């Protein structure tokens, strides 16, 4: 009988790290990446000095606009500065931080106007920083918009050139409280592959019985995210039916 071949012993994470640390090419590439990362961080720090100084002028002492996001500043005096600074040509990573800083419900009409204007101006892109900025704008719009902004938000949602950066606006459309119009728009968006899961979830939030047939189409989707969103929405609608 031939001897059964032994399978190679699995390499642990620590062993793999140790092996890589002995590889001069790997070590060199890692050092180059670290130097590049440090250079980018320094460049961003220099680039955002104007906004950091503007915030300090009203008593908000931060080292970066991202401190506003991480520490969840909500002071009203921050908003006008962020609105003004959002229009300026900072690198996308900094502009994303500004948009996230404006993602508060009390930001107001002027903030919403600037957020919408910038959202329309910036094309969707596979470039990560640009896409991240545009997504942050869409997310901010979904929070800052109020009931009177329903039509404007719907106009953005119907423009497919904005891609997946509309997802949070779709998801939060029910909070704008135009119930019948929202259900019609969300049902329409079920034909838009970029936002199907969010449209399904929002229809579930609205307990949209009249959209049941449109949702049913997706309950056996090959896409697991879409399938789950459809089934969750149908469960919420079924609960409404039982309550009645």
pLDDT of residue 70: 79
Q: Residue 89 phi/psi, 5° resolution?
A: -85, 55
Q: With helix as H, strand as E and coil as C, how does 148-199 read? A: HHHHHHHHHHCCHHHHHHHHHHHHCHHHHCCHHHHHHHHHHHHHCCCCHHHH
Residue 63's H or E segment, with its range, is none
Find, among 242, 182, 194, 191, the residue nearest to 215 by Cα.
Answer: 191
Residue 75's H or E segment, with its range, is none
Using pLDDT thresholds of 50, 70 and 90, give the confidence band for residue 2. low
- What is the separation of C-alpha 126 from the centre of its chain, rounded to a whole number of angstroms? 14
% the chain with pLDDT above 90: 66
Q: Which residues, other chains included, contact 6 with Cβ-Cβ below 8 Å and sequence gap of 6+?
A: none
Q: Are 122 and 156 in contact (CB under 8 A)?
A: no
Q: Are 83 and 137 in contact (CB under 8 A)?
A: no
DSSP state of 244: -
Q: Where are the beta strands (DSSP E) in 50-133?
A: none
Residue 235 tokens read as 């469960």
Task: Kindly list the distances between the CA atom of residue 89 and the CA atoms of 53, 113, 115, 122, in Å, as whole numbers in the listed order.
Answer: 16, 17, 14, 12
pLDDT of residue 177: 80
Find, among 217, 145, 215, 135, the residue nearest to 174 by Cα.
Answer: 145
DSSP state of 8: P
pTM: 0.82
CA dihedral of residues 207, 212, 216, 217 (deg, nearest 10): -120
pLDDT of residue 148: 94
Q: Each residue of 202-219: pLDDT tens digit?
A: 999 999 999 999 999 999
Q: Which residues, other chains included, contact 38 with Cβ-Cβ below 8 Å and sequence gap of 6+?
A: none
Q: Each residue of 19-53: pLDDT tens digit?
A: 667 777 766 676 666 564 555 556 566 678 989 89
């Amino acid at each position: 009988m031939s001897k059964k071949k032994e399978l190679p012993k699995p390499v642990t994470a620590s062993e793999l790290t140790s092996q890589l640390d002995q590889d001069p090419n790997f070590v060199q590439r890692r050092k180059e990446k670290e130097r590049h990362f440090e250079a980018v961080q320094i460049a961003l720090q220099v680039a955002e000095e104007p906004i950091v100084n503007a915030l300090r002028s009203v008593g908000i002492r931060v080292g970066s606009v991202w401190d506003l996001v991480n520490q969840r500043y909500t002071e009203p005096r921050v908003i006008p500065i962020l609105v003004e600074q959002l229009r300026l040509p900072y690198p996308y990573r900094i502009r994303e931080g500004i948009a996230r800083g404006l993602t508060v419900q009390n930001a107001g009409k002027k903030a919403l106007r600037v957020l919408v204007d910038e959202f329309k101006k910036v094309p969707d892109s596979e470039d990560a920083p640009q896409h991240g900025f545009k997504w942050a704008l869409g997310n901010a719009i979904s929070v800052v918009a109020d009931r009177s902004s329903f039509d404007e938000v719907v106009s953005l949602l119907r423009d497919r050139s904005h891609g997946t950066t509309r997802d949070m606006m779709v998801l939060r459309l029910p909070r704008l409280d135009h119930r019948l119009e929202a259900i019609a728009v969300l049902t329409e968006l079920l034909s838009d592959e970029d936002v199907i899961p969010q449209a399904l979830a929002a229809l579930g939030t609205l307990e949209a019985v009249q959209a049941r047939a449109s949702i049913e189409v997706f309950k056996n989707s090959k896409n697991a995210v879409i399938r789950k969103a459809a089934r969750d929405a149908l469960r919420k609608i079924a609960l409404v039916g039982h309550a009645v």
